[in-house]
Amino acid sequence: MGNSSLIDGQTLISMGSVFQLGFFSPVNNSATAYIGIWYYNIPPRESKVVVWVANRNKSVDTSMTSLNLTSDGNLILFEEGTRVWSTGTSAELNSARLQLLDSGNLALTADNSNRILWQSFDHECDTFLPGMKLGFDLWTNTSWQFLSWMSATDPSPGMYVGKFEKYNVPDFFTQSVNGSVKIFRTGPWNGLWFAGLPMLGNSILERNINFTYVSNQNETYYIHEYETRSPQLTRTVVDADGTYKTWSFVGGGWRLFLSFPTDDCDHYNYCGRNSVCTKGYYSSSCRCLEGFEKKNVVECARKEPLRCSSNRFWKEASVKVPDTENATSRGTISLDACKKLCLDDCSCVAYAVINGPYGCITWRGDLLDLRSFTDGGDDLYIRLPESSTSNWKKLEWAIVISTLLGIILLCSVGVLVRRRRRNRALQFPNVEKGSISAFNVLPSHDLHTIKVATNDFSEENKLGEGGFGVVYKGQFDDGQKIAVKKLSRYSSQGPNEFQNEVSVIAKLQHRNLVRLLGFCVEGDERLMIFEYMENRSLDAFIYDKAKSSLLNWQRRFSIIIGIARGLLYLHQDSRLRVIHRDLKPSNILLDKDMNPKISDFGIARIFEGDNALEDATTRPVGTL
């Protein structure tokens, strides 16, 4: 076709009416304008969600500007006859065609052959769309990356870029444009998703996303597309502050369903060199890796230097493997073969075997940006100095002595348990005598099993605490995750409250009530075993600035409705009429899908009979 032009007020719309190309101003009533692509007919219309900008480096005055497609295959933005921006193509063609595709890609093609001369998907902006490549082309020495806006109202190139680094084991980062500040790292590709984002697996399954990763001698890139034919509106953005967010258009609005960094441990190398970050319930903690000790506030150093003869390894389980800048891929081999390769290389300080194309990976130098995961992650094997023969002999004797002491201790514990069980009825008379029938519907667990499940009630497994005592995360041998509520000996919730909570929950079944899986009464220990709630309690979201942003109105409304359904069941629909008497955000637990469940029935009251609700409460109850 001949020369064509686009001026202010005119737009180009994709065939399926998904995207629109035209002039836009990021600030209302401003003469500053850009050529961009945004979602077509998506409310609210007043706030365009722009996914690509052509003339990022220079705005134009629309009254004097036009976008021209020349017959030789060049797209040029003119302002008063001066070239402001162009595709830089000139194929000496008789005709060329410009198309805006439903994917959001602006493609300039040779009209006769559909050969792509230029496409917007090859030129970065701040948004990554399904169908885009993210990586680098070794043949042309160019990168597919995305670059933040300077601010929410200024689309000029900003301070942060999302890109793959051209390492032997490629790693994706969000970092400052000059690379001096790294914000976040995903970890290498593991064949399904990125190794440092184990939580991404559920999002892929739920949204039917087809992830593809290509790595060969010519190019390395990642791409994702939806398996369904109808386009699903999603976008991933690097914001002006360097955060990485993924949005999905659901129910008439944009919903944030992934955001990184999500916590302190996601921030690049938060704990410094040769250390690992662990996210706690209230805050994150740092510790040096095995064989290292604190050198200063930003790094750990080896206690003893490594020698080439060093042949011991420490397994750091379920972690995000270190920054791969100093890593080497050894291919798909067994764990033992990978260990041997590391032993044979005097510079190797650690190794891991992960799924995907890179298999065995070895590291040299310092180990950076490690974090632990409760679920997922990979095992990292860290090389330690070789111990002397005398040390090994001491260790052997220590093992023998510890084993003998363990046998003696085990026998003593068996005798003690028997004695305690005899005294159990005296210590918990209400539970043992008067109302044990209320417990018959639930399995009773022995204390030893629960100790094993919670790593002996370790600090790492601690989820939270209150006036009742402490709640710990645990896992049974069959893999079932649990939350164990361990009443303190000094708790205001004594035997009556314990019995009350177990009895009440055992008789109630509703999707918005936390499920009690079992209990334990042994000696002076009183334990309740609940289903594990991945997102903890509602108060952790409400009173945390970062987390509260995840509670958009749609999510808040859903939580409110869930709580209301649970209360309706308690007050009206259940065979028992129950008043909770201590409903508060910390007693609303959230599962992995953010569904609310009412918990903590220690001071709940059951009303029976037609006139039950007329009964008076004779003492103050609940939280001050």
Binding annotation for ATP: 486
Alpha-carbon Rg for the chain, nearest whole angstrom, is 31
Q: CA dihedral defined by 302, 307, 312, 317, rounded to 10 degrees? A: 40
Q: How far, in Å, CA of 622 to CA of 560, rounded?
A: 21
Report the 10 Å Cβ neighbour count for 86.
18
User: What 3-state class would DSSP assign to 108?
Assistant: strand
Omega prior to 44 cis, within 30 of 0: yes
How many CA atoms does the CB half-sphere of 418 hold within 13 Å?
5
Catalytic residue list contains 582:
yes
Report the 10 Å Cβ neighbour count for 385.
16
Report the 10 Å Cβ neighbour count for 543.
11
Q: Which two tokens stand for residue 265?
A: 């441990």
- Residues annotated within the binding site are 486
Q: How far, in Å, CA of 328 to CA of 92, rounded?
A: 46
Q: Which two tokens stand for residue 608?
A: 């029976």
Q: Which residues are CB-neighbours of 45 under 8 A, at least 6 positions away? A: none
CB 484 within 8 A of CB 528: yes
CB 100 within 8 A of CB 37: yes
Q: How far, in Å, CA of 164 to CA of 57, rounded?
A: 24
Residue 238's nearest CA partner among 177, 194, 174 is 174
**Beta strand ranges found along 323-454 (DSSP E):** 327-331, 348-353, 360-364, 370-372, 378-384
Q: Which two tokens stand for residue 72?
A: 């030789």
CB 153 within 8 A of CB 26: yes
Report the 10 Å Cβ neighbour count for 488.
14
Q: Which residue carries 């109850």 as its tokens?
A: 621
DSSP secondary structure letters along 478-510: TS-EEEEEEE-TT-S--HHHHHHHHHHHHT---
- Distance between first and last Cα of the chain: 77
Residue 284's nearest CA partner among 303, 301, 269, 299 is 269
User: What 3-state class would DSSP assign to 414?
Assistant: helix
Q: Which residue carries 């921006």 as its tokens?
A: 85
**Beta strand ranges found along 417-547 (DSSP E):** 462-466, 469-475, 481-487, 516-522, 525-531
DSSP secondary structure letters along 109-149: EETTT--EEEEGGGS--SEE-TT--EEEETTTTEEE-EEEE
How many CA atoms does the CB half-sphere of 257 hold within 13 Å?
21
Residue in 582, 591, 600, 615 annotated catalytic: 582
CB 598 within 8 A of CB 585: no
CB 126 within 8 A of CB 149: yes
Q: Which residues are CB-neighbours of 300 under 8 A, at least 6 positions away? A: 272, 273, 274, 275, 288, 289, 292, 293, 294
The catalytic residues are: 582
